Amino acid sequence: MTKSKLWIRWAIASFSLTLSLGITDLPVVNTASSVLAQAASEGSFQQQVQSLENQAQSYTQQGQVALAEQTYSEAAILVRDTAQDIFNDIIPVIGELHPALAYAQQSLEFAQKSGDRLQIAESLNLVGEIQFASGGTSDARTSYQQAIAQLESSSNSESAKQLNIAYSNLHLGKVEQALVNTTKAKSFYEQALSSFQTLDHPEGEILVRQSMADLARQQRQFPEAIKNYRSALQLARTTQNKTASTASLLAIGDLQKRQRQNSLAKQSYQEALEAAGNAPNLIRQRGQILNRLGSLELQEGNHQAAVDFYNEALGLAQQVSDLTEQGSILRNLSISHQRRGNYAESFDFLQQAAVLYNQMGLRGLEAEALAEMGATQNVLGNRELAILFYKQAVQVFEARREELTAILGDSTFSKSQLFSPVYRRLSDLLLEDNRPAEAQQAVDLLKVQELDEYLGNVEANEMTVEAVTTLPSEEKVLAAYRPLRDQAIALGKELLVLRRTPKVELTPAQQQRIAQITALQQDLTREFSEFTRSPEVKAALQKVSETAREQNLSLNTLRRVADNLRGLEDRSVILYPLVLEDRLELILASPYAPPIRHTVNVSRDELNATIAEMRKGLTTVRFNTVVEPARQLYNWLIAPIEADLQAAGATTIIYAPDDQLRYVPLVALNDGDRWLVEKFRVNNITAASLTDFTSQPPNVLNILAGAFTQGEFDFQAGQRDFSFAGLPFAGVEVNNIASAIPDTTTLFDNNFSKTETVPLMDNFNIVHFATHAAFVPGEPKDSFILMGDGQRITLQEVQDSWFLTNVELIVLSACQTAVGGELGNGEEILGFGYLMQDAGAKAAIASLWSVSDGGTQALMNDFYGRLRNGASKSEALRQAQIGMIKGNLSVDDSIPNASHPYYWSPFILIGNGL
């Protein structure tokens, strides 16, 4: 058998060394070798092993210990060689026990019976390699450490011991690198490199140079990585090591391609192809190289050359059962056909990739492929079928939300690049097909998904798990599709098991079955190609269109939303704007009718420019800079639905803003005569599926109020520097609350600390923080609430530790968003609202910019007075804002123009506004 792993050769060398040292005598070796030769001529590998084991047992019974030990030694080498061959032939799958592991462990048992510590160490190293490849880093580390312990107490030659310890250190470095313990990994690599160089062992030095290069690449130290790969390449060429030459050139090409040095990358890949030649043990690598060359040709517009490379690569990947590479090649073939306008062929490759990913359990990658299938069908003019595949992608996301982050670690996309665009595109297609009821579901799920992308662990509930509804006529299409898919998956799994069976164990019948499955898979591919063109599917798709547009739907989530709205005392509607590249879509859900859809012809760029203009006008305290963008946004967001609002008798707009619309308050839109707050209550929500409208406000208010009134704190959060001074009017604000609401506990400055405040919060039904806060795009740990003693509570801490069962409302009266003028997609505002609700609070009030200290004090004073008198949260806020507009509030003389929306409009209510 091929001994492609270098340490197998050390095993043979060490065995020869044992002989030369006189540990055993030549007749013993001849005896054991003759047993092995006889067994080899008589039967299978298993019989050979059994013959050696029987002979060793016989020697033991006869008291010939040296002969027994030597025979066990021969058995250990034979089994270890076989384990190594299996390990080389079969790609390990993380989380699965590798077929070679049992052989490696059997080799270890034989080595232990032989008593040769060097062989024991070599077997332990192989066991560790296989454990590591299967994802068992801790087990692998233990095996390598045990190998070193065996070597340190071995009586073998010092050079043999140090050589094997060097390999164990190399393996330990890989374990630490996988665990991102960079310093430890580097230390192990340096120890191994020093030993290999001292021992003049180029094979080991090649491997450690490659590992050091991998570590540098992981740290994005690309020049250092290339330097080490080239050192490994030079040694590999000197020793005529084709495997190492191929691996080094492939890695160099990948780095060059990453740095857009395509001509250099192509040259490196071609050299790698030449180095690999037709070596049987480098088939997998040849396929990977050809796949990369195909991608380079595709980038240069050489479509046929790309397809030729991909087809050859696919054949090689199938030959060695490299499923991950097959999926990559199939998707690349799909792209190449799309570039030439062959969308039907592109779809065929995508569905093969989707089946493959499902078979491997890589559901995130399957969802990517399903979404791409939807996009392809849309280009082909099959919008209903496109919608169906997008729905399938969303259902995979929602059903496996908790698992997909880890799974997508292998993907070319991050969650934010993949998930949200799929939800948004599904909503887009449903609206284009005039199916607003289903689109409302998708848009609501989009909000939940954006929260999950920002916070990382937003839990599903019974409404989100249902995902998007599949219509009865769509189920008929799936009924034709699923049997083909399921049969393909079943055949693929059977083939994978057979191909992962070591060749020494395959029976003739199993080999014949491999050929049969391959032929059946080709037949299924043809059936998949005919699927979309079949009369049954076309008829069902026509029925989809008719049924959906008639709105004869049984959408449980929409029924629950309508029931919630009907249960509210105020006549409420939910407004979902959806920002698309070429237009704005408005979806209006009301208690007594299906959702209504309106299309506004404004591009994302134009909308965002107006949002930025309004945001600037809101914070410059000049009416002439804010009214025009406020009117324009009114014309886009409210004017198209005014008749529907009137028909519904709406008094409250429950608003789920999308994208950068989250940075401007809806109440500050202007119809040319009045601000929107003068016509409607506005209650922001994160998503209807995450909001409980059933709870009622408390009859008696008890408040915990804290204020940062003096001092100054400078610090860095995320990549930004902050400097905050105390808010003098915050003390007045809190004292006024205490005067108006007798059951109020106040905390100021140093007493308003994290340690003092957080444990008290759940003893009150309202928590009011008159202090600075900043909601920053990026990570939850970058956004914070500043306490009076300079401590900060991050949104990450809120997520991890706040548990509020009694709190009805949390108010932060001096927040900032768009810190540094940066407008993201508003995920940080969405995340704040959700975290307050997730912690247990029914609602939260926050400001969209840092507003006047004195103006805030006046508005909050009026808000709490109305709240005490029985007004709902949303109505109390609305009346306080109207009071400031009309000049009815007692505002400090330093504020000459308190009716400007800068002072009253930044406060948004998120959650249950009752």
Residue-wise pLDDT tens digits, 761-791 = 999 999 999 999 988 877 888 889 999 999 9
DSSP-derived pairing of the beta strands 593-600 and 584-590: antiparallel
* Cβ-contact 715, 859 below 8 angstroms: no
Alpha-helical regions (H) of 600-727: 604-618, 623-637, 642-648
Which pLDDT belongs to residue 94? 63
* Average pLDDT of adjacent 10-residue blocks, the chain of 914 residues: 35 33 33 42 71 89 89 90 84 76 91 90 92 87 92 84 91 91 93 94 94 92 93 94 94 92 94 92 93 94 93 91 90 93 92 89 87 94 92 84 52 55 92 87 84 72 62 83 86 82 82 86 80 80 67 50 65 90 91 85 96 91 87 97 92 92 95 95 83 71 93 88 90 91 93 94 93 85 92 90 90 81 81 86 89 85 90 92 90 80 92 80
Instruction: Please answer whether residues 40 and 1 qualify as being in contact, where contact means their C-beta atoms are separated by less than 8 angstroms.
Output: no
Cβ-Cβ contacts under 8 Å for 45 (sequence gap 6 or more):
82, 504
CA–CA gap between residue 527 and residue 533 (Å, rounded): 10
CATH topology of domain 1-144: 1.25.40
Cβ contact 645:574 at 8 Å: no
pLDDT at 645: 93
d(CA 45, CA 51): 10
d(CA 559, CA 871): 28
The structure tokens 């078979």 sit at 359
697 phi and psi angles, rounded to 5 deg: -70, 155
Q: 277: burial class by Cβ within 10 Å (0-12, 13-18, 19+)?
A: exposed
d(CA 898, CA 859): 10
CA separation for the pair 284, 858 (Å, rounded):
72
Q: What share of the chain is helix, strand, coil (3-state, %, to 5)?
A: 65, 10, 25
Q: Where are the domains of the chain?
A: 1-144, 556-690, 703-911
Q: What's the per-residue H, E or C state across 223-288?
A: HHHHHHHHHHHHHHHHCCCHHHHHHHHHHHHHHHHHCCCHHHHHHHHHHHHHHHCCCHHHHHHHHH
Number of helices (H) and strands (E) in the chain: give both, helices first. Answer: 37, 15
For residues 649 and 571, the answer to whether their CB atoms sit within 8 Å is yes
Cα–Cα separations (whole angstroms), residue 434 to 529, 542, 629? 29, 14, 29
In angstroms, the CA 576 to CA 39 distance is 76
pLDDT digits (tens, 9 = 90+) for 539-583: 877 777 666 655 444 445 555 666 666 666 678 898 999 999 999
What is the Cα–Cα distance from 787 to 755, expressed in whole angstroms?
A: 10
Q: Cα(first)–Cα(last) distance of the chain, in Å?
A: 77
What is the full DSSP assignment across 793-832? EEHHHHHHH---SS--EEEEEEEE-SGGG----SHHHHHH
Asked if 107 and 123 touch (Cβ cutoff 8 Å), the reply is: yes
**DSSP category for residue 670:** B
Please state, in angstroms and rounded to a whole number, the distance separating the CA atoms of residues 295 and 341.
17
Bridge partners of 909, per DSSP, are 845
8-state DSSP, 709: -
H-assigned helices in 134-200: 137-152, 158-178, 182-198
Out of 3.40.630, 2.60.40, 3.30.40, 3.40.50, which CATH number does the structure's domain 703-911 have?
A: 3.40.50
Give the whole-angstrom CA distance, residue 60 versus residue 77. 19
Give pLDDT, residue 15.
Answer: 33
CB 761 within 8 A of CB 770: no
* 868: Cβ contacts below 8 Å, ≥ 6 apart: 701, 740, 741
| CB-count exposure of residue 327 (10 Å: 0-12, 13-18, 19+) | buried
What pLDDT score was predicted for residue 41?
A: 42
Place of tokens 């540094």: 820
Both tokens of 580, joined, read: 């698309």
CATH of domain 556-690: 3.30.420
Task: Give strand pairing partners of 714.
Answer: 723
Q: List the structure tokens of 127.
A: 């066991």
pLDDT at 818: 66
Distance between CA atoms of residues 152 and 359, nearest Å: 45
3-state SS track over 412-428: CCCHHHHHHHHHHHHHH
Q: Which amino acid is located at 792 in the chain? A: R
CA distance 368 to 397: 10
- Put residue 361 in one of left, alpha, beta given phi > 0 → left and psi -120 to 50 → alpha: left
DSSP reduced 3-state for 771:
strand
Whether the Cβ atoms of residue 376 and residue 350 lie closer than 8 Å to each other: yes
CA angle 58, 59, 65 (to 5 degrees): 145
Distance CA 100, CA 83 (A): 5
pLDDT of residue 443: 87
Gyration radius of the chain over CA positions: 34
Inter-CA distances, 552 with 389, 562, 592, Å:
21, 16, 15
DSSP string, 404-471: HHHHGGGSSS-HHHHHHHHHHHHHHHHHHTT-HHHHHHHHHHHHHHHHHHHHS-PPP-HHHHT-SPPP
What is the CB neighbour count within 10 angstroms for residue 568? Answer: 19
